[in-house]
Structure 1
Amino acid sequence: MKFPYGICDFRKITMKNYFYCDRTDRIPLIEKGEYLLFLRPRRFGKSLLLSMLANYYDVAKKHEFEAMFGKLNIWKNPTKLQNSFFILRWDFSCVDTSGSVDDIKKGLYNHINACIEGFILKYESWKIPRVRINHEDAVQSIQSLISSIRMTDYPIYLLIDEYDNFANQIMMGIRRERHELYDALVHEEGPLRTLFKAVKASASESLFDRIFITGVSPVVMSDITSGYNIAENIYLRYQFNDICGFTDNEIEQALKSIAGECDLSKDKVAEALELMKTYYNGYKFSLDSDTFVYNPTLSTYFLKYLYEDCKYPRQMLDGNLATDEAKLEYISQAVSGRQMLLDLLREDRKTIVSELTDRFGIKQMLTDKSKDHKFMAAFLYYFGVLTMKEETSEGKISLKIPNLVIRGLYAEQICEMLLPDTVERDKGKFAAEKLYQKGEMQPLCDFVEQHYFKVFSNRDYKWANELTVKTAFLTLLYNDILYIMDTETELDRRYADLTMIIRPDMRRFTILDILIEFKFVKLKDAGMSGEQARNLAKEELQNLPIMQAQMEDARIQVKDYGDVLDKRHKKLRLRKYAVVSLGFERLWWEEVL
């Protein structure tokens, strides 16, 4: 078996027998539209989708049709448009977005011209009349190409990959000069707007017979407004929910194939499937679909590693996707964004919006006043750090964190947001290590009291309860290399606050399984001020009736949850703790045996 990690060439994948999940059955659906826009998060298989379309429709690939598509669904009943287009492809990720407007314009035009020159060479045997390349103005090169194609028997199918690369790159550096640079690209007679106006004009005359554009967000389409207002959005339609993702059945079949090579038992296959589901599944892109899909890049990364080494990768997050942290950092720069990130680590881990915004421009991204809840939720959805969960009974959309990999990014970003000093943050991580390495809770509680509580006391967060305290512990303890981390783990229809169950492949280490139950006592309910709470001796804190009552409840719950976990998992090294917080001032903890 060969797993095509990092390969998005459809011809290479199919002709060299790489692992491929067939999506050619969607080609007839795609043909129903002429000028399409398809959005998915980064590294979600969009380029491979374009490569599939390019090879299917390319008149120059007709002789290879059986070799590429002979084992796939579309071979049984190809459409009439099969191999009937000249294919012109642009990939805006190849364009350097640094430098001035003139620098970017030059880079864009050089890319367009290079693609046209490659087009001419590729279709040389079709005797296309001479195309004049204008190195100063690629729009004129496009017009010359169109004039020449009029003299042939085949129209052009234009494929544009990562059309919004400019916005994504500039957006992450939100300095005002970058904002002005982007404005110059997309407004008035900017080069990007002018380019799309030329594409639209050619489409209206049926010279670009079909256009398929992929990207991450609708930002550029919003900003170029009438420059290109012919795009049909298909990214929320249920028929395309899994066109760029893997399903449960496909992952299971791949694992069973690997099992034969690595001599894995049925239990091991089930274990691997559950691990992949926890870390990589959970994405849904249409409310009308009942299927959650796996991130294809991360899944291929895992499967390739497992096949070649017959063991799981140490890091479940592929480093090529770690850049998604920048999107969370961007959101955390707004006050309301910080609250939203915290809210998403609460027990239900979801956010509700009335609708998913499909039009927002760069100005909204750069202006704090525009960063309302609706915008931020949509932004996080398009970039893959939130996904659809369900439609509520009130007709709204529930969005959630898709999986454990993305949850880890949240935990890390919140930790950096609340503890920006790296030295201080490292001290917290070291205190956390003492808990799961040696079972020592006191250093972690001391750190939370001395550092995190100061942050919470000085910020006007709208919720102040055990969930806030749990968030503090979670961000410090989070470790998806060693653990399957979860909050609100369902145990006999009840929910434990925080569980850290050692990954099956990490049980060779001497670390501990951890279970923590949190309780919170408001200062008002205890009848004291923050200063009074801070001045309490340890015995005085523990003798408060309200603290004793909460501690007793925590003891009972954590013991019951521990019993369930022991029955559910084999050979746990489980340590159980009850933690009661008095406001954001003091912590009392006990290990429950």
Structure 2
Amino acid sequence: MLKFPYAISDFYTLRTQGYRYLDRTAAIPTLEDAGKQLVFLRPRRFGKSLLLSMLAHYYDINMAGEFDALFGDLAIGNDPTPEHNQYLILRFDFSKVSAKGDIEAIQHSLFTHLNQATLDFTQRYQHLLKYPVNVMEDALGSLQSLVDVVKNSGQSIYVLIDEYDNFANEVLVHDVGNWQRYYDLLESEGIVKTLFKIIKAGASEGKIARVFITGVSPLVLSEMTSGYNVATSIYLEPRFNTLCGITHVELAGLVEEVLQDCGQDAVQQTSVLETMKQFYNGYRFCEQPDSALLYNPTLAFYFLRHYQQACSPPRKMLDGNLAMDASRIRYIANLPDGASVIGNILDEQNPVVLPYLENQFGIEQLHKLQHDARYMVSLLYFFGVLTIGGLAGELDELRLDVPNRVIYALYVEALREKALPDLADRRQVEGLAKQFYQTADLQPLAHYLESSYFSVFNNRDYRWDNELTIKTAFMSLLFDDTYYIMDSEAALKRRYADLLMIIRPDMRRLDALKDIVIEFKYLSLADLGLTAEGVRGQSREALQQLPAVQTALQAALRQLRDYQQVLVEKYREPQRLHCLAVVALGFERLIWVTLG
């Protein structure tokens, strides 16, 4: 049975215990040519640690005797570079540094990690060191002693730093509006900047041969221009777009193997690939619009491991290991203008467009993060919850998209939590949504929207234009990827349905579920010539007969007839399809008609 390296980032384990490794060694010569000190940014759980582990085993002088076993059948095996197995590897993993407590506590955690890495280094390479390394309470002094001893022993170091920005990002995200701890970490003589000054000096003096740094965002780099201004940033270069992540061709091969073990045919393979594409694909890490879109490897392996065991997809499409990404969205949503930015991101017919990604997030720029949408969406890109969708407009500006349905669900949940902070309210909404999935009867949901949700939703920084607010309110209540592939502004023969709820292929066995498509129209109180009290005082039947309401309903029904034809042809279950035309009268009442 195919062994997936889920949550395994040790290259040696993968290669010696029969796990599937998606070969990235062909990039090694290109990485060497790119520079001596490199910075490579990717979202969490995208394979950065495995990449570093592969580089560590390739360049480690101690691993020379196992080169053929580890690399012989990989792309680099037949033509290795002269630098293979030439260095002493010094690895740091800053995800192990706690961001809790004051600056002294964080410094203690960082120093503990640096000293542990130094001790591990001396134990692995003591046979090559002519002098002892002085490990002291000041871990920066320990590092200085280490690089000096290696140089004086006639050896060279390759420094690998994983998640360089992790603890600093945690400080920033969890201290919204209070940046003192973040400032203390990164001020002119802060511990992080001093650490990188030592690395920079070691490289300039020939004590450190190469440096490879991974992280999520450029937040910390912006504060290190004087301490570490020698690195080459390669994270937006097209040639490294696929360095981490899974391509569609690679995924198709894995799916084929899994389905063969389950005794399933090519028809099922097409369905599985389409589901995985909807939920996990969509990441692009360069500005070339024809570059490959990638799958998140952690999510893909999560899905495939479950399928391997049950021969069906998991009920929950979001792996808990990625749920932390929701905190990044909540961080932006809780900024003064953040909720409006999140709402605009969900308007897929009007994508977010930027002339370029902001990559300077120094202390002096943090105030811009409060109100400047460009800074917010740029940071969301680096967090992995937006991606480069392509180019847009006459000026070929960057279009930033939500990469897939799993990430879309995180945005929706952030809005739902902000509008309904009380857990009991959210549980009530879940019950109403499940009832709607089975009946397509809008009455209970409409009553809740009119009596409670619209007033809350529209007053909590969600004051966008008309129809978008209504659509987003519905989406935040109804979104559920356990049962549905849900899409806002879904393309159907070059026209766009406002909200499409199609039952997941593996859930179509549940006869109770309905396929649902909703077309929204919005009429302001001014359009109606009525006051809020006047709208609330009339029956739904009377409001439905108003000329403006009838016109809006008929327009929505015409669109729904086109969508209905397309969906019936595709899914061939007309009895399950329910098409609703919904007209919002301000934020007071809802009028709807079901297409017969």
If the TM-score is normalised by the length of the shorter chain, which range does it land in? over 0.9
Task: Give the superposition deviation at 1:332.
Answer: 1.0
Contact kept, 8 Å, 1:530 with 1:585, in 2: the verdict is: yes
Q: Distance in 1 between matches of 2:140 and 2:460?
A: 52
Task: Give the superposition deviation at 1:511.
Answer: 1.6
Q: Distance in 1 between matches of 2:587 and 2:247?
A: 44
What is residue 491 of structure 1 aligned with on the other side? 492
Contact kept, 8 Å, 1:349 with 1:400, in 2: the verdict is: no
What is residue 122 of structure 1 aligned with on the other side? 124
Q: Which amino acid aligns with 1:208?
A: I
Write the deviation string for residues 330-376 of structure 1: whole angstroms up to 9, x where unpaired: 111123211111111114262111110111025644x4774401110
What is residue 61 of structure 2 aligned with on the other side? 59
Write the deviation string for residues 256-293 of structure 1: whole angstroms up to 9, x where unpaired: 11122111110111111111110000000101252111
Write the deviation string for residues 278-322 of structure 1: whole angstroms up to 9, x where unpaired: 000000010125211111111111111112222111111000110
Give the gaps of 5 or more residues in structure 2.
none
Task: Give the superposition deviation at 1:45.
Answer: 0.6
Q: Which amino acid aligns with 1:28?
A: P
Q: Distance in 1 between matches of 2:520 and 2:370?
A: 36
**Equivalent of residue 581 in structure 2, options 569, 578, 583:** 578
Task: Give the superposition deviation at 1:62.
Answer: 0.7
Write the deviation string for residues 230-259 of structure 1: whole angstroms up to 9, x where unpaired: 111000000111110111100000111112
What is residue 391 of structure 1 aligned with on the other side? 391
- 3-state SS of paired residue (2:324): helix
Give TM-score scaled by structure 2 length: 0.96
Q: Which amino acid aligns with 2:518?
A: I
Write the deviation string for residues 172-231 of structure 1: whole angstroms up to 9, x where unpaired: 22166x632232222132222211111111111121110000001111111233111111
Task: Give the superposition deviation at 1:57.
Answer: 0.5
What is residue 525 of structure 1 aligned with on the other side? 527
What is residue 203 of structure 2 aligned with on the other side? 203
Write the deviation string for residues 522-578 of structure 1: whole angstroms up to 9, x where unpaired: 222222222222222223201110101111222222233122101111436112211
What is residue 47 of structure 1 aligned with on the other side? 49
Name whichever of 190-199 and 85-94 sits farther off.
190-199
Q: Distance in 2 between matches of 1:360 and 1:457?
A: 31
Write the deviation string for residues 396-431 of structure 1: whole angstroms up to 9, x where unpaired: 211010000000001111112223333333322322
Q: Distance in 2 between matches of 1:364 and 1:188?
A: 16
Contact kept, 8 Å, 1:35 with 1:230, in 2: the verdict is: yes
Name whichever of 395-404 and 179-188 sits farther off.
179-188
Q: Distance in 2 between matches of 1:255 and 1:11?
A: 25
Q: Distance in 2 between matches of 1:520 and 1:82?
A: 64
Count matched residues: 590
Whether 1:91 and 2:93 are equivalent positions in the alignment is yes
Write the deviation string for residues 507-528 of structure 1: whole angstroms up to 9, x where unpaired: 2222211111111112222222
Contact kept, 8 Å, 1:171 with 1:362, in 2: the verdict is: no
Name whichever of 450-459 and 62-71 sits farther off.
450-459
Q: Distance in 2 between matches of 1:468 and 1:303?
A: 37
Contact kept, 8 Å, 2:159 with 2:211, in 1: the verdict is: yes
Q: Which amino acid aligns with 2:387?
A: T
**Equivalent of residue 39 in structure 2, options 24, 27, 37:** 37
Task: Give the superposition deviation at 1:111.
Answer: 1.1
Q: Distance in 1 between matches of 2:497 and 2:424?
A: 31
Give TM-score scaled by structure 1 length: 0.96
**Equivalent of residue 568 in structure 1, options 567, 570, 573:** 570
Write the deviation string for residues 4-50 of structure 1: whole angstroms up to 9, x where unpaired: 10000011112222112111111111101111111011111110010
Contact kept, 8 Å, 1:315 with 1:481, in 2: the verdict is: yes
What is residue 540 of structure 2 aligned with on the other side? 538
Contact kept, 8 Å, 1:487 with 1:497, in 2: the verdict is: yes
Contact kept, 8 Å, 1:347 with 1:467, in 2: the verdict is: no
Task: Give the superposition deviation at 1:459.
Answer: 5.8
Task: Give the superposition deviation at 1:102.
Answer: 2.0
What is residue 260 of structure 2 aligned with on the other side? 260
Contact kept, 8 Å, 2:419 with 2:460, in 1: the verdict is: no
What is residue 182 of structure 1 aligned with on the other side? 182
Q: Distance in 2 between matches of 1:84 and 1:5?
A: 30
What is residue 595 of structure 2 aligned with on the other side? 592
**Equivalent of residue 74 in structure 2, options 46, 50, 72:** 72
Specify whether residues 454 and 462 from structure 1 end up closer, same or farther in structure 2 by C-alpha distance, changes over 3 A only: closer
- 3-state SS of paired residue (1:244): coil
Name whichever of 77-86 and 564-573 sits farther off.
564-573
Q: Distance in 2 between matches of 1:308 and 1:376?
A: 40
Q: Which amino acid aligns with 1:568?
A: K
RMSD: 1.7
Please show how residues 49-448 of structure 1 align to structure 2 within 5 Å.
49-134=51-136, 136-174=137-175, 179-288=179-288, 289-348=290-349, 350-362=351-363, 364-365=365-366, 367=367, 370-392=370-392, 393-448=394-449
Specify whether residues 460 and 82 from structure 1 end up closer, same or farther in structure 2 by C-alpha distance, changes over 3 A only: closer
What is residue 552 of structure 2 aligned with on the other side? 550
Contact kept, 8 Å, 1:219 with 1:362, in 2: the verdict is: no
Q: Distance in 1 between matches of 2:459 and 2:322?
A: 34
Q: Which amino acid aligns with 1:442?
A: Q
What is residue 450 of structure 2 aligned with on the other side? 449
Specify whether residues 353 and 106 from structure 1 end up closer, same or farther in structure 2 by C-alpha distance, changes over 3 A only: same
Specify whether residues 443 and 201 from structure 1 end up closer, same or farther in structure 2 by C-alpha distance, changes over 3 A only: same
Task: Give the superposition deviation at 1:326.
Answer: 0.8
Q: Distance in 2 between matches of 1:369 and 1:43?
A: 25
- 3-state SS of paired residue (1:485): strand
Task: Give the superposition deviation at 1:325.
Answer: 0.8
Specify whether residues 263 and 8 from structure 1 end up closer, same or farther in structure 2 by C-alpha distance, changes over 3 A only: same
Specify whether residues 457 and 378 from structure 1 end up closer, same or farther in structure 2 by C-alpha distance, changes over 3 A only: closer
The percent identity for this pair of structures is 45
Specify whether residues 143 and 464 from structure 1 end up closer, same or farther in structure 2 by C-alpha distance, changes over 3 A only: closer
Contact kept, 8 Å, 1:120 with 1:128, in 2: the verdict is: no
Task: Give the superposition deviation at 1:127.
Answer: 4.1
Give the gaps of 5 or more residues in structure 1.
none
What is residue 477 of structure 1 aligned with on the other side? 478
Specify whether residues 128 and 534 from structure 1 end up closer, same or farther in structure 2 by C-alpha distance, changes over 3 A only: farther
Specify whether residues 27 and 187 from structure 1 end up closer, same or farther in structure 2 by C-alpha distance, changes over 3 A only: same
- 3-state SS of paired residue (1:81): coil
Name whichever of 438-447 and 457-466 sits farther off.
457-466
- 3-state SS of paired residue (1:226): coil
Q: Distance in 1 between matches of 2:348 and 2:331?
A: 24
Contact kept, 8 Å, 1:364 with 1:371, in 2: the verdict is: no
Q: Which amino acid aligns with 1:133?
A: V
Contact kept, 8 Å, 2:99 with 2:168, in 1: the verdict is: no
Contact kept, 8 Å, 2:5 with 2:14, in 1: the verdict is: yes
Q: Which amino acid aligns with 1:554?
A: A
- 3-state SS of paired residue (1:340): helix
